[in-house]
Structure formats: C-alpha cells, structure tokens
Amino acid sequence: MNLFKKGRAMYSLFVFLGLAAAVFFASHELLPLVSSANAAESSPKVSPVKARERDFYAPNSENLAPDEMRLIACGTGMPTARPKQAASCWLVELGNGDKFIFDVGTGSAERIAALQIPYNFLDKVFLSHLHTDHFGDLDALFVGGALAGRQKPLRVWGPSGDTPERGTKYAIEHLRKALTWDLDGRQGLTDPRGYHIEANEFDYKGMNQIVYQENGVTIRSFPAIHSLDGPVSFSLEWNGLKFVFGGDTYPNKWYDEYAKDADLAIHECFIAVPDMITKFKFTPQSALAVGTQIHTAPEAFGKVMSRIKPRMAVAYHFFKDFDTTGAINERIRTTYDGPLSLAEDYMVWNITKDDIRVRLAVVDEDVWPPPATEKPQAPDPSIRIPYSDMIAGGRLDVKDVIQPTYDEINKEYGLSEKQE
Ligand SMILES: [Zn+2]
Ligand SMILES: [Zn+2]
C-alpha cells in the first residue's frame, strides 16, 4: 500500500515536471527549435531550389580529377544484335587526359557518340580479338568519327594470328579496302585528315609484353584461349592504378597471373547454359560447348576472381535481363564473394586509390557531334572524283530553289560560293 502510494506520488511529480518544462520551452519558443533540430539529424537538408547531388552519370557534366580513372561500358552484349546491349566496348579515361577504347564491338559506336567526347581524343583502339562482337563497329568509329571531328588517323592495336591472314594488320588493311567506295566518295568534301587508319600489330603470344607506353601509361598484352590462336587480354597501368580487360577466353593461367593486384578487372562471363538452351535456342550440346569451353561459365568466372582478388570484378558478355541476371549472380556467388559488377551498357566506374564508385549513365539520344579540338582544314575540291557524263547528265534542274540557300550562307559568312 505504501509502495503504491509512493509510486503514484512519483508519477504525479514526473507529470508535473513534464508539464512545467513544456510550458517553459513553449513560452521561450524553444520547443519548435528542439523538434526541427531532431528532424535535421534524421534527414539531410533538402532545398526546394538547389539541385541535389546526382546518383547517375551525365556525359559532359563532370570533371575528371588528376588522379582519377573513369571507365564506361559502351557495349556488354553478344554477337547477336539487340537494342539494349551493344557488343564489347570499354572506354577508359584518365586524369592525365588520355583516353583508350578497348574493343569496339557491333553497335558500340552509338554508345561512344552518346558520351559527347571530341573525336580527336578517341584515336586509340585496342582489340582483344577479331570477332565482330569485338571489332564490328570499327568502320563506324573510323569513318563516322572522321566526319564528326577526328582530325588525325585512327590508331588500332591488335594481335597477330597464327597466319598473316588471321592478324589485325590484315583485317585493318582489308577493312580499308572494303571502304574504298566510301572513302573515295568523301575526297575533296571535308577535312581529309581523319580518313586514315593505322594498324599496330603485336605478337599474340607475347607474355605480359608492353604494346603501348606513352605519357605515363603502360599497356601490356597476354594470350587468351578462345576459338583460334590469336585472342589476348590487356592490362593498363597508370598513376598506381591497374585496369585489366579480358576479351573472350576460357579461364587461363596468364590472366590468373597478370591480372593480379588489379584495381578493376573485366572478364567475360557467359550466359548460364540452361538459359542458352531455352532463351538463346542453342542445342544442349552447343550450349555446353560454347558456354563452358569456348567462353567462361559464371562459376568459372567466380573462381578466376577469387584467385586474383581485384578491388572490383566486372562480368560481361551475357544478355542482362530480369530473368537471366539472377542465375548469373547466383552461379558466380557459388565461387566468389568479393566486389562484383554485373555489367550493362552505360555502366560507369570512377576509380581512385580510395574509392570505386559505380553508377549508370543517363544519355541524351539526340546528340550532335562534339566540338572539334582543332581548326578544320579546308578540303581540296580539285581532288573530288567526278561523276561520269551519263550520271551527271541525269540531274534535274533545281538550281533556282537552291540559290536562296547559297545567297543566305554567302551573306552570313562573307563567302562567294557558287553552285556546280
Ligand atoms: Zn570472341
Ligand atoms: Zn565475344
């Protein structure tokens, strides 16, 4: 009874003190301040007029720090074209201003264009091998890039083959020949300097050999095992950071050795065999052969990454859909539990010694050519190849309706151009 009374007395005292405190804070206008301070602790300040930090990457909107590497996936898919994924293509941008393209697979040229980078900066391409899903858009980057402001030759590095005809030099020379009509028809019309392509072929058997070394950047190659002799993987080292790009391969001991200590390591990871059969319509026999013997199965990808332990492992070369990603992830996770990116087109990695930030880019589909970095060189109209008399004679007379455009442009730019 006494205890009960004592308890009630204490309770009354607390109620009284609480009310007194409320009256005190309210009369001093402290109560609203206290509650807003608590709210500020639980949620960051949000402004109705100031933009918040983005959680995506918008091309041409962020500076690259002097010690930073930025990697953008411009193609993560397969030889089979699809709107959602171009084939293998990776852009590496360095804080020293250098940029390198690793593979330029079918469909990737439009991804590169979406990044709005002046084409003079995109003049170095490294090919892992000569499957079209790894170099099928080289023609688009070569010709389209020149038309959009590349005022220098496109330089290509790639492996030799076991015969000269299976090497990069042969492929580039014959690509150039296949474009004879295209290139001849552009003579004398635009800045001519970009319409040249150089092949730098190196020995596919080279063991961690240096294939490029300039401006503090060292790129090495080592063999891969895929389809025929010839494919390679690359490492790029700069400023204490190491990036490794594996082209197509069965898991191999050279990647295991030379990709060690990578800050970021890309390696192919093929579609899970059951999905190859049901979704890709392979026969079970072909699915097993292609998905596990010509390429790297997800479980094997995981085993490779468990051995080399990169700061970030990147898997690509599969159709990444809502109903395939889970299987790939689960299979990789049976053999690897480290940091992992399941790549898709426009994925972006910002890499420094302290941090690797992974985001997706949001791009503008209506891009136009970025600015040229040098003054355009006027073409020499005298080297234009003329039509035959027969074709030239087929022109309809539309001079009267075109002349106003000549008048307008001549007046605007102080010229005296005449119709042909
Ligand atoms: Zn291949
Ligand atoms: Zn491939």
Place of tokens 């390429």: 295
CA 183–ligand 1 middle distance (angstroms): 28
C-alpha pair distances (Å), 401 with each of 61, 397, 398, 406: 42, 9, 6, 10
For position 45, what pLDDT does the model report? 82
pTM of structure: 0.89
Please check the confidence at residue 221 and state whether its pLDDT lies above 60: yes
Q: How far apart are CA 405 and CA 101, in angstroms?
A: 40
For position 13, what pLDDT does the model report? 43
Place of tokens 């730098």: 200
Q: Which pLDDT band holds residue 38 (cuts at 50, 70, 90)?
A: low
Q: How far apart are CA 260 and CA 262, in angstroms?
A: 5
**Cα 35 to chain centroid, rounded:** 47
Please check the confidence at residue 17 and state whether its pLDDT lies above 60: no
CA 226–ligand 1 middle distance (angstroms): 7
Q: How far apart are CA 287 and CA 280, in angstroms?
A: 9
For position 23, what pLDDT does the model report? 44
For position 28, what pLDDT does the model report? 45
Say if CB 172 and CB 126 are below 8 A apart. Answer: no
CA 338–ligand 1 middle distance (angstroms): 26
Segment 10-15 mean pLDDT: 46
For position 251, what pLDDT does the model report? 98
Please check the confidence at residue 185 and state whether its pLDDT lies above 70: yes
Please check the confidence at residue 12 and state whether its pLDDT lies above 80: no
Considering only 104-108, 132-136, 304-308, 370-374, which range has the smallest mean pLDDT?
370-374
CA 273–ligand 2 middle distance (angstroms): 16
Q: Which pLDDT band holds residue 420 (cuts at 50, 70, 90)?
A: confident
Say if CB 313 and CB 285 are below 8 A apart. Answer: no
Which residues make up the environment of ion ligand 2, defined by Cβ < 5 Å? 133, 248
CA 361–ligand 2 middle distance (angstroms): 23
Which stretch of DSSP H or E encloses residue 408?
Answer: helix 399-413
Q: How far apart are CA 386 and CA 26, in angstroms?
A: 91
For position 401, what pLDDT does the model report? 98
Segment 31-45 mean pLDDT: 54
CA 78–ligand 2 middle distance (angstroms): 6
Q: Characterize the bridge pairing of strands 124-126 and 154-159.
A: parallel
CA 317–ligand 2 middle distance (angstroms): 7
CA 352–ligand 2 middle distance (angstroms): 29
CA 135–ligand 2 middle distance (angstroms): 10
Please check the confidence at residue 268 and state whether its pLDDT lies above 80: yes
CA 303–ligand 1 middle distance (angstroms): 21
Considering only 59-68, 92-101, 339-348, 369-378, which range has the smallest mean pLDDT?
369-378
* Nearest ligand, CA 105: 2
pLDDT tens-place string over residues 140-176: 999 999 999 999 999 999 999 999 999 999 999 999 9
Q: Is 98 exposed, middle or buried (0-12, 13-18, 19+ CB in 10 A)?
A: middle
* Nearest ligand, CA 129: 1
Average pLDDT, the chain: 92
Q: How far apart are CA 372 and CA 274, in angstroms?
A: 48
Q: How far apart are CA 407 and CA 104, in angstroms?
A: 43
Q: Which pLDDT band holds residue 32 (cuts at 50, 70, 90)?
A: very low
For position 9, what pLDDT does the model report? 46
CA 266–ligand 1 middle distance (angstroms): 15
CA 182–ligand 2 middle distance (angstroms): 27
